[in-house]
Structures are given as structure tokens and as C-alpha cells.
Amino acid sequence: MIKKYQSYIITIAVTIAITFAAGAFSQTIKLNPIKPGSNTKILTDEQQGILAVRTAKASVVNITGVPKPNPAPNSSGSSPSITASPGQIYGTGFVLQADGLIVTNGHVVENANLDYTVILNDGSEYPAKVLNIDTFDDIALLQISATKLTPEVLGDSGALETGQSVFAIGNSLGRYENTVTRGVVSALGRAVSPSGDGTRLRNLIQTDAAINPGNSGGPLINLAGEVVGMNTLEDTAGSGLGFAIPVNTIKDAVQQIKAFGKVSRPYLGIQFEDIDPGVQSAENLQLQNGALITAVMPGSAADKAGLLAGDIIVGINNLTINQSQNLDSIMGQFGAGNQITLKILRNGANLDVPVVLGVLQ
């Protein structure tokens, strides 16, 4: 994980649920049913975990970045030198396709002044080209000139359950490649503000499987050896918790990048607070659920629809905001250009407000 991500204090806020038709990017491990009375040996949880890790590790890669050569001549007046800043970075990724398509976190390869190298499980090294970075969901695609690679098996993050066993695999601390840590899915649908500027990563998987600097971009796998998430952040407050991007979000981003060259995200154009006991008390609200609009961006879809600060969104179309699905989770079901109807509470009156969603730039 890049060093700047080590200092962030993570705040947990909201949920966004994204579903995606897996298509060519989803595979499943086929399990033969055990017939009653047969002699088939049932694997223990530990044995199943060992097999899962063994399956997934072969497709995990290390990623390093070093400063590009400085075109200015060195003291001899000939050979280029290497700049001392910003220094080397390290991270993890995993193989998506046999033709050398690699996925990692966007923050691992965001520095255009670095040259990136992908190191495969067998130790071979390849220069990497950054194809695209989706800064909204912190996902990046890389291409290397390797063939006949073994892609990871992608699972379904929508099927995850709290308490489910998972394993994080990555280049821990930039020194211990293919480090495996085990834990459980401790929560789903978390939202995190990693940079302190109001931006949020949403719908994250929370796990107590240790995620250390250098693990960013590595797979989070289930007991079947399927990737269910991509390790992204650690909570540096000492909680022992980490966060991973759901694999369904990755599938969605990859398909859009391959089809359109970029990821298109719907944009409503508001700042809001999810109503919880603290917000309810501070704002003296009667509602226990909803999204309190605190600001409306000028010229946005929300502004054009007439939304105001102080409005409370209680639902979208026929979906109601509650403890299991908040505004972000419902919004994740719609795309840019979709028309939706917001259920609004304004000064005690219930309103239906039609909105055409914009495109996040």
C-alpha cells in the first residue's frame, strides 16, 4: 500500500451496492455434490483454506514503481540519472486475463513520474503499461507483454455474508511477497474517506484479515479460492481492520473500460449525511432513516431538479432508505442518464422529485 495511505484515519459512513452480470470476467469453481453413503472425504475448513490459497497465489503479482530516468545529463555529461524523488513504491495486483491484463488499486500506479514493473509469481519481471485508472473506485488496469498466464477465478461479492472466512494475499510491507492473512468478513457496505477531502470509497468489504502496506491491489479470496474483493486500505487507528473493493465493482469497471475506454458514473450532485442516532439528535429530526442534504452542487442534476439543503431523501422510486440500504446503496443501481424519482421530505411535506442523473467527470 502506498505510504500516504498509512496515515489515514478511516471513518465509516455509507453503503453502495453494485451488481453486475459477470460475463467473461466471472468464473465459478464447480463442486461435485457428495452422495449419501459415499466414501468421499469432506475437507475441513483448514484444508479447504489451504487449497483456496494454493489456487489463488499463482495469479498474484507484485508491483513496483521507480522514478523515471531524468533526461538531464549526469556529471559525466552522458548517461541519464535517476531522480531521487518521489522514491520507490510497491503494491500488489492479480491476473485478470491470460494475455497479461492485470488489475490493482489506482493509488498504487497513480504517479505518472514512475516506471512500473510487474513481478509474476515465478519471479519473471515485465514493464507495465497503465491502461486506465478509475479514481472513483480506486481501480487500475495494467498490461504486460506476457501470455498464457493463469487468471484468478472471480467470485460474486454480492453473495458474501458477515462472518464468512476470507484470506488476504499480498506483497506485505514490500518485502514479504505472497503473504497470506486470514480473517472473516466483519461488515459489508462500508464507506471510507481515505484522503480527508470529502471523497469516499463506497460499498467496501470490511475484514479483520490483516492488510498491511504493500497489500494494496491484492486479492481477498473465499474458501473456494475465488476472488471476492481487492485489498485497498487499512485502518491505522489500531483496530486491526482493513477494507477491500468488492469484486463485482471491479467487474463493472473492467467491462466499462474495455468497452468505452473509461468508467462512467452517475452523478446526483449533493453532499449529505446518513441519518443515524447522532445526526438525528443533532438536527432534532423525527426520522430514523434517510439522507439529509447538506449542500447542493451548482449546475448539478440535483440543482436542476430543485433539491435544497435541508431536504431529506427517504427513498428512490419504489425503494426506501433503511438500515439495510442507504442512499449510496440504492444509487448504485442506476446509471448516468437514468431518470429517477426521489422521495423527499421538505418542511414536513412529502414530495416526489424527478431527477435525470448526470455523469461524474
**Does 16 share its domain with 162?**
yes
Q: Report the C-alpha gap between 22 and 29 in whole angstroms.
A: 14
Answer yes or no: is 189 within a domain.
Answer: yes
Please say whether the beta carbons of 190 and 165 come within 8 A: no
For CA atoms 348, 354, 360, 361, give the dihedral sign: negative
Same structural domain, 221 and 285: no
**Is 107 among the residues known to form the active site?**
yes
Active site residue 59: no
Domain edge (last residue) among 209, 244, 260: 260
Please report, to the nearest 10 degrees, the dihedral formed by the alpha carbons of residues 70, 128, 218, 334 taken in order.
110
Which of 157, 172, 186, 216 is catalytic? The answer is 216
Query: 275 and 324 share a domain?
Result: yes
Question: Quick one: pLDDT at residue 208?
Answer: 93
Check if the beta carbon of residue 229 is closer than 8 Å to that of residue 244.
Answer: yes
Domain count, the chain: 3
- Whether 210 maps to a domain, the answer reads yes
Find the catalytic residue in 59, 134, 137, 138: 138
The type of residue at 94 is F
pLDDT of residue 196: 52
- Alpha carbon 152 to chain centroid, angstroms: 16
Query: Is 39 part of any domain?
Result: no
Residues 216-248 have pLDDT tens digits of 999 999 999 999 999 998 887 767 899 999 999
Asked if 158 and 248 count as a contact pair (C-beta separation under 8 A), the reply is yes
Q: How far apart are CA 257 and CA 12, in angstroms?
A: 28
Catalytic residue among 107, 134, 186, 208: 107
Domain assignment of residue 196, yes or no:
yes
Catalytic-residue membership of 216:
yes
Is residue 123 in a domain? yes
Choosing from 86, 109, 143, the residue where a domain stops is 143
pLDDT band at 195 (very low <50, low <70, confident <90, very high): low
Tell me, yes or no, whether 236 and 296 share the same domain.
no
Report pLDDT for 19. 32
| pLDDT for 134 beyond 90 | no
Task: Over range 10-16, report the average pLDDT.
Answer: 31
Residue 273 has pLDDT above 60, yes or no: yes
Residue with grid cell 430514523, as numbered in its chain? 288
Tell me: the pLDDT tens digits for 96-130? Answer: 999 999 999 999 999 999 999 999 999 999 999 99
Q: Are residues 137 and 162 in the same domain?
A: no
Kindly report the CATH number assigned to the domain that includes residue 333.
2.30.42.10
pLDDT over threshold 90, residue 79: no
Please check whether residue 245 is in contact with residue 138, taking contact to mean a CB–CB distance below 8 angstroms.
Answer: yes
pLDDT band, residue 137 (cuts 50/70/90) = confident
In a domain? residue 61 = yes
Which grid coordinates belong to 294?
447538506
pLDDT at 144: 97
Lowest-confidence range among 55-69, 138-152, 249-263?
249-263
Please name the residue ranges forming H helices in the chain.
Answer: 45-57, 247-260, 277-282, 301-305, 327-331
pLDDT at position 75: 46
Q: With a cut of 60, say whether residue 253 has pLDDT above it.
A: yes
Statement to judge: residues 229 and 247 lie in one domain:
yes
Which residues contact residue 206 at a Cβ distance below 8 angstroms, ignoring those fewer than 6 apart? 12, 185, 186, 187, 188, 190, 241, 242, 243
Do 138 and 236 fall into the same domain? no
Mean pLDDT taken over the chain: 81
| 162 and 249 co-located in one domain | yes
Say if residue 255 is in the same domain as residue 297: no
Maximum pairwise Cα distance, the chain = 80
* Within-domain flag for 32: no
Q: Is residue 28 a part of any domain in this protein? A: no
Residues 350 and 251 in one domain: no
Same domain, 235 and 92: no
Residue-number span of the structural domain to which 341 is assigned:
266-359
What pLDDT does 243 receive?
94
User: Residue 25: what pLDDT?
Assistant: 39
- What are the distances in angstroms from CA 26 to CA 29, 104, 139, 195? 10, 17, 17, 31
Distance CA(165)–CA(50), nearest Å, equals 12
Going by C-alpha positions, the residue among 227, 232, 181 that lies closest to residue 206 is: 232
Same domain assignment for residues 307 and 350: yes
Instruction: Check pLDDT > 50 for residue 162.
Output: yes
Residue 121, sorted as left (phi over 0), alpha (psi -120 to 50) or beta, turns out to be alpha
Check whether 214 has a pLDDT greater than 70: yes
CATH number of the domain where residue 166 is located: 2.40.10.120
Count of H helices and E strands in the chain? 5, 22
> 290-349: per-residue pLDDT in tens?
999 999 999 999 999 999 999 999 999 989 988 777 787 788 778 788 899 999 999 989
Question: Which triple of cell numbers denotes residue 40?
Answer: 468421499
Share of the chain above pLDDT 90, in %: 48
How many Cβ atoms sit within 10 Å of the Cβ of residue 347? 8
The domain boundary residue, chosen from 238, 260, 282: 260
